[in-house]
């Protein structure tokens, strides 16, 4: 697996890196072997639990969903998010990182990185933990997701992000996830670092792309999807149709018929 991580996360890897989220065994099985990275993201807080932001996601939740996913991933590389408030200091980060890795056997950890906590990458990497640095828009910094806007718009923001990306690489990050970073800045970051960049809402100028699986299939019809989300299928519509047919058949005593009866 170590060789595989190195291969996939090498800039020489001929394919663009693909990554989708999974929180459950069923989705893990769909993704395994089809995407390079399976991310157990703390987006599960909003996507699965209906929370307003990701701040109430706990280590325990990540452990349970993490294990449910990793048990069903044999070919792809698993990445798990460190949730909010679990990596405020080096020692806290190390203790919780080990707990998460030991319980879930996830191969990589993703941390939301800023100027202040950047040093955690160096510390965790020195302990042989594979870290992905999540920069740009870092959702754990937001109580209200409606306030999220793309970053890297002006010279200062762009310079700071490039600096953060370069330092993340120097401190040992294996990849950089760029969230909602303007195209020109994303392009500059990708060409400034020798580790891969994986974008979400950060243009095609990244070495790979990540999306939330539930968004890809349009699971929740009430959800407002940001500009960067492409709904590849409308699962919601398909599921609703199935539900309506089931109800009709039950009401008309068509289900269960002989075929479904012991
Ligand atoms: O938590 C998550 O799913 C993420 C993706 C949106 C990149 O961090």
Which candidate in 99, 179, 240, 249 is catalytic? 179
> Does the CB atom of residue 112 touch ligand 1 within 6 A?
no
Q: Whose CA is nearest to atom 4 of ligand 1?
A: 41
Q: What pLDDT score was predicted for residue 14?
A: 78
Ligand 1, atom nearest to 42 Cα: 1
> Does the CB atom of residue 200 touch ligand 1 within 6 A?
yes
Could you tell me the distance, in angstroms and rounded to a whole number, from the CA of residue 261 to the centre of ligand 1?
Answer: 43
User: Where, residue-wise, is CATH 3.20.20.60 in the chain?
Assistant: 2-231
CATH code of the region 2-231: 3.20.20.60
Does residue 179 have an active-site annotation?
yes
Could you tell me the distance, in angstroms and rounded to a whole number, from the CA of residue 18 to the centre of ligand 1?
Answer: 13
Band (pLDDT 50/70/90 cuts) for residue 223 is confident
Above 90 in pLDDT, residue 5?
no
> Does the CB atom of residue 81 touch ligand 1 within 6 A?
yes
pTM of the predicted model, to two decimals? 0.97
Computed over every residue of the chain, the mean pLDDT equals: 96
Above 80 in pLDDT, residue 3?
no
Q: What pLDDT score was predicted for residue 222?
A: 87
Quick one: average pLDDT of 187-192? 98
Q: What pLDDT score was predicted for residue 127?
A: 98
Above 90 in pLDDT, residue 9?
no
Above 90 in pLDDT, residue 238?
yes
Beta bridge partners, 17, equal: 208
d(CA 30, CA 32): 6
> Does the CB atom of residue 42 touch ligand 1 within 6 A?
yes
Could you tell me the distance, in angstroms and rounded to a whole number, from the CA of residue 211 to the centre of ligand 1?
Answer: 7
Q: What pLDDT score was predicted for residue 11?
A: 80
Could you tell me the distance, in angstroms and rounded to a whole number, from the CA of residue 75 to the centre of ligand 1?
Answer: 21
Q: What pLDDT score was predicted for residue 224?
A: 86
Mutate to test the pocket of ligand 1, among 18, 41, 223 (most ligand atoms within 8 A of CB): 41
Q: Whose CA is nearest to atom 8 of ligand 1?
A: 41
């Amino acid at each position: 697996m170590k060789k595989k991580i190195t291969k996939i996360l090498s800039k020489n890897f001929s394919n663009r890196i693909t990554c989708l989220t999974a929180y459950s065994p069923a989705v893990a099985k769909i993704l395994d072997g089809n995407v390079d990275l399976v991310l157990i993201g703390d987006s599960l807080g909003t996507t699965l639990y209906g929370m307003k932001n990701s701040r109430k996601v706990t280590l325990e939740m990540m452990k349970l969903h993490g294990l449910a996913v990793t048990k069903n991933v044999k070919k792809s590389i698993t990445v798990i998010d460190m949730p909010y408030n679990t990596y405020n200091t080096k020692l806290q980060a190390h203790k919780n990182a080990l707990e998460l890795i030991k319980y879930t056997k996830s191969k990589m950890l993703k941390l939301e990185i800023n100027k202040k906590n950047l040093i955690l990458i160096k510390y965790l990497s020195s302990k042989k933990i594979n870290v992905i640095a999540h920069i740009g828009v870092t959702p754990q910094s937001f109580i209200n997701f409606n306030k999220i806007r793309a970053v890297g718009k002006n010279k200062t923001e762009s310079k700071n992000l490039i600096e953060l990306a370069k330092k993340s690489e120097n401190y040992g990050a294996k990849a950089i996830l760029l969230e909602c970073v303007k195209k020109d800045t994303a392009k500059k970051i990708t060409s400034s670092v020798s580790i891969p960049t994986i974008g979400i809402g950060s243009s095609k100028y990244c070495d790979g792309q990540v999306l939330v699986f539930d968004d890809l299939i349009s699971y929740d019809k009430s959800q407002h999807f940001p500009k960067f989300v492409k709904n590849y299928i409308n699962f919601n519509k398909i599921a609703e149709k199935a539900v309506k047919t089931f109800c009709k058949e039950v009401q008309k005593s068509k289900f269960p018929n002989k075929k479904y009866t012991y």
